[in-house]
Amino acid sequence: MIDNKTIVLTGASSGIGFEVLKLLAQGKGNRILAVARHVDNIKYFADNVTAWPCDISTQAGVDALFRKAEELFGIIDIFYANAGFPYYEEFNYTDWDRIDAMFRTNTISPIYTYAKYIAHLNGRAGILAYTVSAIGEMAMPGYAIYSSSKFALNGFQQAIRMEKPDNLQITCLYPVATDTNFFKVANAVEFEKPFPVQKPSTVAKKMVKGIEEGAERVSPCGLFGLSKVLMGALPPVKTVYLNMEKAKLERFKQKLSQYHNRLHADAAAAVEHGRELGSQIREKNREVVGELEERAEKVRGEIEEKAAKAREEIKDRIHGV
């Protein structure tokens, strides 16, 4: 159990981060600054938890987060940079901003956080935790941008371990597929998750234990470690596994194209319906205008008739005088 610590936890509102938050909040004397862009669901989580909305994908966001933590705690004993998100897709576009958004959140923000945290500690003991990913060690089809963002973070933590001061512990988590919002965020169209899938509570328990024990890396799925050894010794096993994942991507692409076709068909039907409505409205308009003109003609006739009558009466009266 982690006790008597001041802790910053990003990505605390959901999934792995939320399960970590539950465990840390139980620790005696812990105080936690729990961060996500939307924190409504953790606002009143516990007395020792301060929920704070913050976008960690910008320098201003991370700087503000350090200021807030320093204001609350003075010293940050543990900084857990867990926030991150995936895309599941065929990488076939030239959208700079889309690529940039992922690297800002998954890679640049945790790297920048390291430098900020070292400066904050100023020689004091501290723990920096990262949620990397099994996909940051083994690339997967459908996750090209996500994989590369996590490979980059993994490369950073490997290199920085050789430079970091002794007062800093770095603990990295390498989850396999974990049943969180991750897969909803990755694509609006549902897709098959990679094998195997773990519960976020299992992953969180192992990570909290790893942080407490000073582990450098936490691989919550034993099967992944075993299969890495097996795939290293027997490369065809890796080929079979990755072919399974490629087949999933192919099925997803077909599903996506059916989905797009359906959207196009729905859009075309909506346009056709709009056209039909337009012509009905024009027809109705013509009818109404026709009726109004007829009525106006009738009223004009009646007025002219009354005016003629009035003229006659006036004439009669003048003659009578």
Where on the chain is the footprint of ligand NAP (CB under 6 A)?
A: 10-17, 35-38, 54-57, 82-86, 105, 131, 133, 175, 177-178, 180-182, 185
Instruction: Decide: 131 and 175 in contact? Cβ < 8 Å.
Output: yes
CB of 155 to ligand NAP, least distance (A): 16
The beta strands (E) that lie in the chain are given as 6-10, 31-36, 49-53, 78-81, 126-131, 168-173, 177-178, 197-198, 217-218
Closest CA to 83 of 25, 30, 153: 153
Structure tokens at 138: 């083994």
3-class DSSP assignment, residue 176: coil
Which residue number, 197 or 281, has a Cβ lying nearer to ligand NAP? 197
CB of 161 to ligand NAP, least distance (A): 19
Structure tokens at 123: 């020689």
∠129-135-137 over CA atoms, to 5°?
A: 75
Which residue number, 155 or 278, has a Cβ lying nearer to ligand NAP? 155
Rg (CA), the chain: 34
Closest CA to 172 of 225, 201, 214: 214
H or E stretch at 228: helix 222-233
CB of 105 to ligand NAP, least distance (A): 5
Which residue number, 190 or 272, has a Cβ lying nearer to ligand NAP? 190
CB of 142 to ligand NAP, least distance (A): 13
Which residue number, 145 or 168, has a Cβ lying nearer to ligand NAP? 145
Which residue number, 37 or 284, has a Cβ lying nearer to ligand NAP? 37
Instruction: Decide: 84 and 105 in contact? Cβ < 8 Å.
Output: yes
Which residue number, 2 or 176, has a Cβ lying nearer to ligand NAP? 176
CB of 150 to ligand NAP, least distance (A): 7
CB of 175 to ligand NAP, least distance (A): 4
| Residues forming a β-bridge with 128 | 79, 170
CB of 218 to ligand NAP, least distance (A): 12
| Residues constituting the chain | 321
Which residue number, 2 or 54, has a Cβ lying nearer to ligand NAP? 54
CA distance 200 to 173: 12
